[in-house]
Amino acid sequence: MSTTPAADERTRYSSHRADAVDDQAWPEFGEQVRGLLESVGEVIRPEAGEVLWDAGDGYDLYLVLAGAVGLVDRRDDRVVFVVEAGDFVGELGMLMGQPAFLAGVAMPASVVLRVPIEDLRRLVATSVELGDVLLSAFDARRRLLTRTGEGGLVLAGDDDRDLHRLQQFAERNHVPYRTVLRSNPAAWAEVAATCALPDKGTAVVTGRRRILAEPTTRELATAIGLDLCAISDQARCDLLIVGAGPAGLAAAVYGASEGLDVVIVEDVALGGQAGTSSRIENYLGFPRGISGSELARSAMLQAVKFGARLVSPRSVTELSQTPDGFRVRLDDEQDVAARAVVIASGVQYRRLGIPGVAEFEGRGVYYAATELEARACFGRNVVVVGGANSAGQAALFLAQQANQVHILIRRDSLAETMSTYLEQRIAHHERITVHPQSQLTSVAGADRVTELTWRDERSQQDVRLEAGGLFLMIGAVPRTAWLSDVGVELDDKGFVATRGSFETSVPGLYAVGDVRAGSVKRVASAVGEGSVVISAVHSHLAGTR
């Protein structure tokens, strides 16, 4: 693999494979792996300049036997990567049914082995060696595309809540993109030279130069093929899982690996709330910690490997019983028939009804602390409201880039609500200050948050702080409104009541993770529940069969 001389340093892959990600992205096939591909592939000799696939098309795996294949950004028809003899063309979205970010064009004297995607999926599921090599490579390539911003997707506009919403969706779904702001005339003019950008509002430029003006999240997802599973009317499955957080993803991996036809419905992004965590340090087997985003991406890779299908961004609006199981209605009015359903829809942070919060959401008020939000607060003061582990992880992460982090809690200390290792780390961090018995009272600013005020109940004084970010991580509101018509039992706070084996009051309907009444709000316990519930699902399906 190499890049063309025209590719600038900002978007350049390392042609020397200088790090571990590059090594994983471009592996050498052993004889056994190559033999498997040759057994189902077709050798073709395209003409120089022939388009093997275009941006936005579905595509197959191409092993380059001679010559090379150029990967082209259709926004300006620039060759950004060259895949040379011995390497192969393919990326994570291929297995998930996502169309290509970049076009593929044959170079002179090229010979390639084309492996149809359906055959590739079967081989990945049945061959350990091939599956390990390809999944590692696909995952590494997606990370490289994300790191370099190559992928043909441009998010353009002003630094406001609409642009932040699209950036957040792309980042949490691991979609490579580049941001261009009107406040940067040179960058704006570069993109405007290839397409007609609107004078105001947010715009999305796709790999095929299609422009979306002020798109919804769903419109963005559809335009780039992220709505990964086209569900048609009368679609059926053995198990439908609502929510792709740790519990839902665990259920998908174990269900699909044990032969169930699994569909996962997710309305925001992989990982749920855990997906926004910058560093989870007490998850078994990861002594150096792992980000929620990485954990979710790896879990989805496993689920796809075993044949699970993802429907995103979609939400479930209604659930009703049928003689064969359940009818699940999605927010686009399509129905899925499922023999069993696992509710793993999790919880969401509460909004605060104080002046300025709603007005500045996405412009300094955030409900997640990822790299995207941290960059926006670089070198400034930030305030985190909340005392649970998620708040502690956010504070430690933000302290790497912020000037000072202030944590507001209503209690006297963090000891009752936060893991000891986080509490101790925060207590000894020079750029983090905890404010007990304190409540946020107002948010102020012009275009973005510039000032925060809270009430210190101990001193009975108001405290004002010049700040660039407010991170709200308080309370846990279950996402169960869509269950009202099926008659499932909820507790007084809206969490789903379960009995042994995580079954609800409705046979064939299960609840796992944070949405379940009495659950332990930890990633490890959610994964455990999602794994264990599959045994109960199998027993139920065996009885109904």
- What percent helix, strand, coil does the chain show, rounded to 5? 30, 25, 45
Write the CA distances from 456 to 307, 383, 459, 475, 511, integer angstroms: 53, 14, 6, 20, 40
CA distance 288 to 394: 17
Write the CA distances from 339 to 233, 342, 422, 521, integer angstroms: 16, 11, 42, 28
Dihedral (CA of 515, 516, 517, 521) sign: negative
Terminal-residue alpha carbon distance, the chain: 52
Q: How far is CA 273 from the centre of its chain?
A: 11
pTM: 0.84
CA distance 149 to 142: 10
Write the CA distances from 12 to 75, 90, 147, 178, 261, integer angstroms: 17, 18, 10, 14, 40
User: What DSSP assignment string belongs to 310-358?
Assistant: EETT--EEEEEEETTEEEEEETTS-EEEEEEEEE---EEPPPP-STTTT
CA distance 202 to 52: 33
Dihedral (CA of 338, 341, 346, 348) sign: positive
Report the half-sphere exposure of 543 (CA within 13 A, side-chain side).
10
* pLDDT tens-place values along the chain, 545 residues long: 444 333 333 233 333 344 555 678 888 888 999 999 999 999 999 999 999 999 888 889 999 999 999 999 887 788 988 999 999 998 888 887 778 888 999 999 999 999 999 999 889 888 988 988 998 898 888 888 888 877 778 999 998 889 999 998 888 888 889 999 999 999 999 999 888 899 999 999 987 778 999 999 888 888 877 665 555 556 899 999 999 999 999 999 999 999 999 999 998 888 888 888 888 888 889 898 898 888 998 898 889 888 898 888 889 999 999 999 999 999 888 899 999 999 999 988 888 889 999 999 999 999 999 888 999 999 999 999 999 999 999 999 999 999 999 999 999 999 999 999 999 999 999 999 999 999 999 999 998 999 999 999 999 999 999 999 999 999 778 989 889 888 899 999 999 999 989 999 999 999 999 999 999 888 999 999 999 999 999 999 998 76
Q: Among 184, 174, 175, 138, which residue's Cα sits nearest to residue 154? A: 175
The continuous run of DSSP H or E covering 154 comes out as: strand 154-157
Tokens of 187: 């960058």
The continuous run of DSSP H or E covering 262 comes out as: strand 262-265
Would you list the domain boundaries of the chain? 9-148, 154-223, 235-348+478-544, 365-472
235-348+478-544 and 365-472, same CATH topology:
yes
- Residues 268/479, Cβ–Cβ less than 8 Å: no
**The CATH number of domain 154-223, selected from 1.10.630.10, 3.40.50.150, 3.40.30.10, 3.30.70.2860:** 3.40.30.10
Write the CA distances from 485 to 265, 320, 329, integer angstroms: 19, 7, 12
pLDDT for position 254: 97
pLDDT for position 20: 54
The continuous run of DSSP H or E covering 397 comes out as: helix 389-398
pLDDT for position 231: 59
CA distance 126 to 221: 30
**51-53 and 477-478 strand pairing:** unpaired
Superfamily of domain 9-148: Jelly Rolls (2.60.120.10)
CATH 3.50.50.60 fits 365-472, yes or no: yes
pLDDT for position 58: 85
Superfamily of domain 235-348+478-544: FAD/NAD(P)-binding domain (3.50.50.60)
Mention every residue, 6+ apart, whose C-beta is less than 8 A from residue 449: 356, 360, 363, 364, 365, 443, 467, 468, 469, 470
Around Cβ 329, how many Cβ atoms within 10 Å? 16
Verify cis geometry, omega within 30 degrees of 0, for the bond prior to 313.
yes
